[in-house]
Amino acid sequence: MQYKRLDEYGAIGDRNAIALVGRDGSIDWCPFPHVESPSVFAALLDADRGGHFAVRPAQSFDSVQRYRDRTNVLETTFQSAGGSATVTDFMPVDDATGSTDLPPAVYRKLDCETGPLELEVAFEPRFDYARDVPEIEPVADGVVAVGDDERAVLSSDVSLAPSADGREASGTVTLEPGETRWLVLGYDEAIPLEPSKHRETLEGVVDYWREWTHDCDETDCPVGGPWHDLAIRSSLVLKLLLHGDTGAVCAAPTTSLPEDLGGVRNWDYRFNWIRDAAFTVRALSELGHLEEARSYFQLCLDHCRHHDPGSVPPVYGLHGGSDLDERILDHLEGYRESAPVRIGNAARKQHQLDVYGELILAIYESVRYGEAVTTDDWAVMCDLIDYVCEGWDEPDAGIWEMRTDHEQFVYSKLMCWTALDRGIDLAEAADDVDAPLERWRTCRAEVREAILDRGFSERTTSFVRSFGDDDTLDAANLLVSVVGFLPPDDHRVQGTIDATLARLATDDGLVRRYEGNDGLPGTGSPFVVSSLWLVTALALSGRTDEAADRFESILEYASPLGLLAEAVDPETGEQRGNYPQAYSHIGLINGALSLADADDSIDGPPASPAPLGRDESIADVAADQEIVRRQTDTK
């Protein structure tokens, strides 16, 4: 078995588990019962050992994938000399079926369009990241895989037989035009083979996604225009990554997909990063998904309640757990032999100052979109902002989670300023709340002065990576105008954009994250999200044509299904890193929003100097709604 390009995969899920389905009909990645659980299929990380579940024609074939319109239901259509067939893959979502106790499952519906066509089925589960090879035995209407502590039951009206060694099962079926067969994989328990009921389940899942999905007249849509469909697909990816039990945003459903082939920059992203908060809230809110945005920012606040303000972890388990110890799975060779394969993430123990600004900014955005914080929330916020006053000048690991000695990262200081700035705005607009405003204002001025004096280099006419460094760039500083620290037309903002274009950007719109040592060998590929930050910064600056050109160039790297990984190989154009990546899709939506705002402006930059919280003042919001509620029972 060979490795596929990442853009040859589609993603399906039930908002708890997510599987990647190849264009060749093979499920090569699927953890059960949750996205952060050990895998059942992991051929993505070891083509020979990892395990897979494939359905494909017996003859050579061509294939194409598409999602059913405005859903996460995936269709793979095969065309061969013998005929054509479509495999429809989906997972049942509790809200779509009216049940809250469905076992985790993958449904695969086989429809023959022309034929007769012979299809092959290969079922090779490998539990616990392929450390547990189960015994496969026949049962009524299918086979069961039994491991040390896990079992999976494949119900099917395709005849399947275990191999002689009991390590896999396979079968073939010849379908006539118009004929349908089902394969239903239940984790831990069997799902009875009932085709009529399965059709109802599919209809319910399709209705669920379509009822949730943003639907609009494109002329009035905040992301209208040529990239409308990709922005909507991005929202569906985010919904897939929003954990159904907790509302946490899974950064990506995969682990250890490399930033560069053969390198060691392979990380487990199946967790929730606070840094995603503000941009996620805006993206979801602008597309009308206020409930999800509200739940997410509240979840981030709840995490903070359980920690001392000075030791807030930047990343959490999707269920709130703290067992993210980083471990290496030596028995897996890694995607295209890019070892190591890691589970867990050591960033959990890092000190990252930027999370304070990202969290307070998310709360600020939520208030702008109609949410009120409670008095209990306000107390937590005040503790966090008070800590920023005490600790803003500490070195940290930074947004890029450097595995070197801590530095005085400029972006970390920028987000400390943002925490103070938005906290002051909220306190000034709310009635009768306790806040040490004079202390906060004094500290905000100190942080601002430090950033301007020590974070801007006259030599490069740009903001730089760290205090005391006058010649090392960081793409995160493109957000200086996005958070309202400086107006977009300020020469220091424009200098940072131009330096980024000259030194971090490729001609095709891609942007590397930073220059300088990060404690790891090799270099990572350009990141999609930093490339999209450049689009937003250009759009805010009134450089709309440049922004649109770069945006369109970046979108060309999306998969045929509209999915984006973390990074792009600048030499081959292949997607790299974990896939699909929430941060990339959040950046796409916010980039589209920024370009739409720029198009609405007749001359020069848009009327709002920044898209995050500055197009409508909190004072104006406070005139129409309560910002801080006295009740503590309205969460």
Q: What is the pTM of this model?
A: 0.94
Mean pLDDT value across residues 449-459: 97
Residue 609 has pLDDT above 60, yes or no: no
Residue 470 φ then ψ, to 5°:
-105, 10
- Position 523 scores a pLDDT of 80
pLDDT digits (tens, 9 = 90+) for 237-263: 999 999 988 889 999 999 999 999 998
Using one digit for the tens of pLDDT, what is the confidence trace for 259-287?
999 989 999 999 999 988 888 888 898 88
Can you tell me the mean pLDDT for 484-499? 97
pLDDT value of residue 97: 62
Token couple for 163? 């191999």
Where does 327-482 have alpha helices with state H?
354-368, 375-391, 410-429, 437-454
Token readout for 579 is: 């896939």
Q: Band of the pLDDT at 156, cuts 50, 70, 90?
A: very high
* 617 pLDDT higher than 70: no
Q: Are strands 117-124 and 135-139 parallel, antiparallel or unpaired?
A: unpaired
| Per-residue pLDDT tens digits for 52-72 | 999 999 999 999 999 999 999
Choose among 102, 187, 112, 173: nearest CA to 144: 187
User: Mean pLDDT in the chain?
Assistant: 91
How far apart CA 197 and CA 190 sit, in angstroms, is 15
Per cent of the chain over pLDDT 70 is 94
The pLDDT-based confidence of 147 (bands split at 50, 70, 90) is very high
- The pLDDT score that the predictor gives to residue 602 is 38
- State residue 396's pLDDT score: 96
pLDDT of residue 608: 38
| Tokens of residue 506, six digits | 């490729």
| Least confident interval from 22-26, 256-260, 286-290 | 286-290
Whole-angstrom distance, CA of residue 449 vs CA of residue 234: 38
Which of 180-194, 294-308, 422-436, 606-620 ranks highest by mean pLDDT?
Answer: 180-194
The ranges assigned to domains in the chain are 6-212, 228-629
pLDDT at 218 over 80: no
Q: What pLDDT digit, counting tens, does each position of 620-630 carry?
A: 776 667 778 77
Q: How many residues belong to the chain?
A: 635
Query: Tokens 């002051």 label which residue?
Result: 424
Decide if 352 contacts 401 (C-beta within 8 A): yes
Q: Which residues contact 433 (CB under 8 A, 6 or more apart)?
A: 378, 427, 628
Q: Say yes or no to pLDDT of 350 above 50.
A: yes
Residue pair 478/500 in contact (Cβ under 8 Å)? The answer is yes
Q: What is the mean pLDDT of residues 188-196?
A: 94
* pLDDT value of residue 604: 43
- Banded pLDDT at 612 (limits 50, 70, 90): low
CATH fold of 6-212: Beta-galactosidase; Chain A, domain 5 (2.70.98)
| pLDDT tens digits, one per residue of 494-505 | 999 999 999 999
Selecting from 3.40.50.300, 1.50.10.10, 3.50.50.60, 2.60.40.420, what CATH number does the domain 228-629 have? 1.50.10.10
For residue 603, pLDDT beyond 50: no
pLDDT at residue 555 above 90? yes
- The predicted model gives 382-406 an average pLDDT of 95
Q: Which two tokens stand for residue 491?
A: 């020469």
| pLDDT for 99 beyond 80 | no
Q: What is the pLDDT of residue 635?
A: 41
What's the whole-number mean pLDDT along residues 602-631?
Answer: 58
Measured at the CA of 383, the angle between CA 381 and CA 388, to 5 degrees, comes to: 95
pLDDT in the model for residue 522: 78
Using alpha carbons only, what angle is made at residue 622 by residues 614 and 276, rounded to the nearest 5 degrees? 45
**Residue 331 contacts residue 322 (beta carbons within 8 Å):** no
pLDDT at residue 388, rounded to an integer:
98
Instruction: DSSP for 229-255, please give it.
Output: HHHHHHHHHHHHHB-TTT-PBPS-S-B
d(CA 251, CA 243): 11
pLDDT at position 616 over 60: no
Predicted pLDDT of residue 633: 46
Quickly state the pLDDT bin for 404 (edges 50, 70, 90): confident
Q: What's the angle, vertex CA 479, arms to CA 279 and CA 386, rounded to 5? A: 75
pLDDT at 235 over 60: yes
